[in-house]
């Protein structure tokens, strides 16, 4: 045993504002214990002292805590539906200044995919995506915009040719696309949400949260949307009580704010 986990959670919250109570405890504790053992620390207290003193170890911890599995155009069928139905409807209802928020954006694959998807319907200079994540390291990687072949496998060929340059065995996304995304640090559990969004995309992230935390986040997303604004969730997620939370269901992964 590594010691008092309750005390550890409080220490982490005071250092990072990350509330470990909102994560599924068994799963998260197992991951944290593995990391602590890997760093040759005997107790939670010793590990807390280590990450207080060592900036690199602190960043490693935050990076380890935030689960980053990301790829462009993940679940292509859903992106086809976004392109075919959702984006044209949003433009028809709200005009060309669509406010788009990519929440828990990880390494930038998703917000950059959104810019490319919207570029089929609007000129690039009219597209702006706010992209947020709790993890400084992945935001830094997102701003660099360098991806491996697997990450960009789902990108439509027209966009691969137009917006990516091969650098060694990696691919660099163009400044044209990068300039349309504004990256910010944001904690879904405690920070204020943007308001007046027409589209919020948050995919395959909330599965790691407790049911209470999930419901709270879905409520806040609803408040962040304008009436008829759309929430796009991941294929690993469901909103069972969507009606109670003021959503209408457009399809399995697209929900709109009702009133």
pLDDT digits (tens, 9 = 90+) for 31-83: 899 999 999 999 999 999 999 999 899 888 877 766 555 789 989 999 999 99
149 and 23 part of one domain: no
Q: Structural domain of residue 55, as residue ranges?
A: 5-65
What's the pLDDT score for residue 66? 60
Task: Tell which wins on pLDDT, 35 or 168.
Answer: 35
pLDDT for 114 equals: 98
What is the rounded average pLDDT for all residues in the chain? 92
Could you tell me if 129 and 87 lie in one domain? yes
Hey, what are 47's tokens?
């590990």
Q: Are residues 28 and 89 in the same domain?
A: no
* Domain assignment present for 247: yes
CB 235 within 8 A of CB 75: yes
CB 78 within 8 A of CB 253: yes
Tokens of 130: 């706010």
Q: Is the pLDDT of residue 17 over 80?
A: no
User: What span, in angstroms and rounded, lies between the C-alpha atoms of 234 and 218?
Assistant: 13
Share of the chain above pLDDT 70, in %: 98
Whole-structure pTM value: 0.82
Number of separate domains in the chain: 2
> Is pLDDT above 90 for 149?
no
Structure tokens, 186: 């944001």
Task: Among 65, 86, 109, give the residue marking a domain's end.
Answer: 65
Question: What is the predicted pLDDT for the residue at 68?
Answer: 52
Q: Which of 35, 65, 95 is at the close of a domain?
A: 65
Task: Check residue 38 and give its pLDDT.
Answer: 93
47 and 126 both lie in a single domain: no
pLDDT, tens digit (0-9, with 9 covering 90-100), for 76-130: 999 999 999 999 999 999 999 999 999 999 999 999 999 999 999 999 999 999 9
Distance CA 211, CA 201 (A): 19
pLDDT-derived band at 207 (thresholds 50, 70, 90) equals confident
**151 shares a domain with 100:** yes
pLDDT at residue 2 in the model = 80
Q: How confident is the model at residue 212 (pLDDT cuts 50, 70, 90)?
A: very high
Report the distance separating Cα 51 and Cα 153, nearest Å: 36
């Amino acid at each position: 045993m590594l010691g008092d986990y309750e005390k550890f959670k409080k220490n982490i919250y005071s250092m990072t504002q990350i509330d470990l109570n909102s994560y599924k405890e068994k799963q998260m504790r197992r991951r944290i214990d593995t990391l602590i053992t890997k760093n040759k620390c005997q107790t939670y207290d010793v590990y807390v002292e280590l990450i207080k003193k060592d900036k690199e170890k602190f960043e490693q911890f935050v990076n380890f805590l935030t689960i980053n599995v990301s790829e462009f155009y993940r679940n292509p069928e859903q992106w086809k539906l976004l392109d075919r139905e959702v984006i044209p409807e949003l433009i028809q209802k709200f005009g060309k200044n669509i406010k788009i928020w990519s929440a828990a954006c990880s390494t930038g694959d998703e917000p950059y995919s959104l810019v490319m998807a919207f570029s089929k319907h609007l000129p690039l200079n009219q597209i702006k995506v706010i992209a947020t994540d709790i993890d400084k390291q992945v935001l830094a990687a997102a701003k660099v915009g360098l991806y491996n072949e697997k990450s960009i496998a789902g990108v439509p060929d027209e966009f691969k040719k137009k917006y990516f340059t091969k650098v060694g065995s990696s691919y660099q996304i163009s400044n044209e696309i990068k300039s349309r995304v504004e990256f910010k640090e944001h904690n879904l559990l405690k920070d204020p949400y943007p308001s007046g969004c027409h589209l919020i995309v948050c995919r395959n992230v909330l599965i790691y949260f407790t049911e209470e935390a999930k419901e709270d986040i879905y409520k806040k997303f609803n408040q962040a949307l304008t009436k008829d604004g759309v929430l796009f969730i991941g294929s690993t997620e469901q909103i069972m009580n969507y009606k109670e939370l003021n959503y209408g269901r457009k399809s399995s992964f697209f929900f709109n704010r009702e009133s």
